[in-house]
Amino acid sequence: MKLTSKGRYAVMALVDLARFNNINPVSLRDISLRQGISLDYLEQIFSKLRKKEIVQSVRGTQGGYILNKKTNEIKLTNIFEAVDEKVKTVQCKKESKKSCNGKTVKCLTHNLWDELENHINNFFDEKSLEDLVKDNSERRI
Amino acid sequence: MKLTSKGRYAVMALVDLARFNNINPVSLRDISLRQGISLDYLEQIFSKLRKKEIVQSVRGTQGGYILNKKTNEIKLTNIFEAVDEKVKTVQCKKESKKSCNGKTVKCLTHNLWDELENHINNFFDEKSLEDLVKDNSERRI
DNA sequence: AGATACTTGACTATTTTAGTCGGGTTTATA
DNA sequence: TATAAACCCGACTAAAATAGTCAAGTATCT
């Protein structure tokens, strides 16, 4: 089990964005340079973040992205959801499987994965961008 | 983030094994049939479980595997460790990265992934095979 | 002897991931 | 109004991980 780069990048980029969000839009080029993430890849990620209304875009020169909500309103859950990073521990839910459909027939470990999913999701539900920004408040860069 | 089949299979197989463990060794063939897991794949998995002394093998006819410890002594952590299913959320720890080595220089989200890792590991540390067997104690098959 | 079952290592198809690439469109500003 | 900065979008691709398969053993019971 591991978190993929897409999710990690999304969070890193948003923390970066949140920290420089004060006055002007922040360009992906800047985030790319500061965080060492490929610009092309960032564009894919921000396209999804925009569709889920986590950020707003400002086109043209001096353009970039701004947060669309307050930092305490953006939970990690929202971010992961936006970039399709799903916490799916249970594959046994698939319709086709006769040994486990989650309802009438459950595999030996079905409840376990359900519990785990909840456990992780609780963590993500509680953590907001604000928390992460505060964690880094004493930093220069 | 998702749990891979190897880890899920390992847990399923061990729950199955624990339930039929009473008298005789349980053959992988039986587990394969009951749980719908490829026999060849199970062999790989049990080879690792044996090396970590979670199970013992009994060769020859009527052979199979038996648990090497009490069910309450086998934590999910042990199982995942054995089959190389690591909860690694943080790739930024890699030595080569200048932006984050975990010590002198930390990336913006380093603490977050550390926390998450602990959160998940706590869950796995507490859950034992015994708990899972009890969950299924009312089942026939 | 033969069948059952573990043991081991190498091989492979599929899927996922982490990008890249090439072409746009929009807008500030010189 | 030309230009450059920046967003926008879809298709493509190399590399890695995953989930197996396969072949050739060895041990042990009956």
Largest CA distance in chain A: 58
Q: What percent of chain B has pLDDT over 70?
A: 86
The rounded radius of gyration (Å) of the Cα atoms in chain B is 18
Amino acid at B24: N
Concatenate the DSSP letters of all residues of chain B into one string. -B--HHHHHHHHHHHHHHHT-SSS-B-HHHHHHHHT--HHHHHHHHHHHHHTTSEEEE-STT-EEEESS-GGG-BHHHHHHHTT---B---TT-TT-SS--SSSS--TTHHHHHHHHHHHHHHHHH-BHHHHHHHTTT---
> Which range, of A8-12, B2-6, B8-12, B41-45, averages the lowest pLDDT?
B2-6
Write out pLDDT tens, residues B93-105. Answer: 444 455 676 667 7
Cα–Cα distance measured from residue A92 to residue B36, given in angstroms and rounded to the nearest whole number: 11
Q: Which two tokens stand for residue A18?
A: 């949140």
B39 closest CA partner among B72, B71, B13, B67: B13
Q: B120 CA to chain A: closest CA distance, Å?
A: 7
Q: Which of the pair, A94 or A82, is modelled with greater confidence? A: A82
Separation of B103 CA and D7 C1' (Å): 36
B2 CB contact with strand D at below 7 Å: no
Could you check: is the Cβ of residue A60 within 7 Å of any atom of nucleic acid strand C? Answer: yes
Q: Quickly state the pLDDT bin for B92 (edges 50, 70, 90).
A: low
CATH numeric code, B5-86+128-135 = 1.10.10.10
Contact indicator for A3, B112 with CB cutoff of 8 Å: no
Residues of B from 62 to 101 whose C-beta is within 7 A of strand C: which are they?
62-65
Nearest-by-CA chain B residue for A122: B119
pLDDT-based confidence at residue A90 (cuts at 50, 70, 90): low
Q: Which two tokens stand for residue B3?
A: 């749990």
Stronger pLDDT, A14 or A104, i.e. the higher one: A14
How far B62 CA lies from chain A's nearest CA (Å)? 25
- pLDDT tens per residue, range A91-129: 654 444 556 666 666 778 888 988 888 898 899 999 999
Residues of A in contact with B121 (CB under 8 A): none
How far, CA to CA in Å, does A46 sit from each of A20, A66, A78, B12, B34? 16, 11, 13, 39, 45
Q: How long, in residues, is chain B?
A: 141
Measure CA to C1' and name the residue nearest C5.
B60
Nucleic acid strand C within 7 Å of B53 CB? no
Question: Which is nearest to A114 in space by CA: B58, B39, B135, B60?
Answer: B135
Going by pLDDT thresholds of 50, 70 and 90, the confidence category of residue A84 is confident
Residues 20-39 of A with CB under 7 A from strand D: 25-29
Question: Chain D positions under 7 Å from a protein CB?
Answer: 4-11, 17-23, 26-30
Predicted pLDDT at A131: 96
Residue A128's pLDDT is 97
CATH number of A5-86+129-135: 1.10.10.10
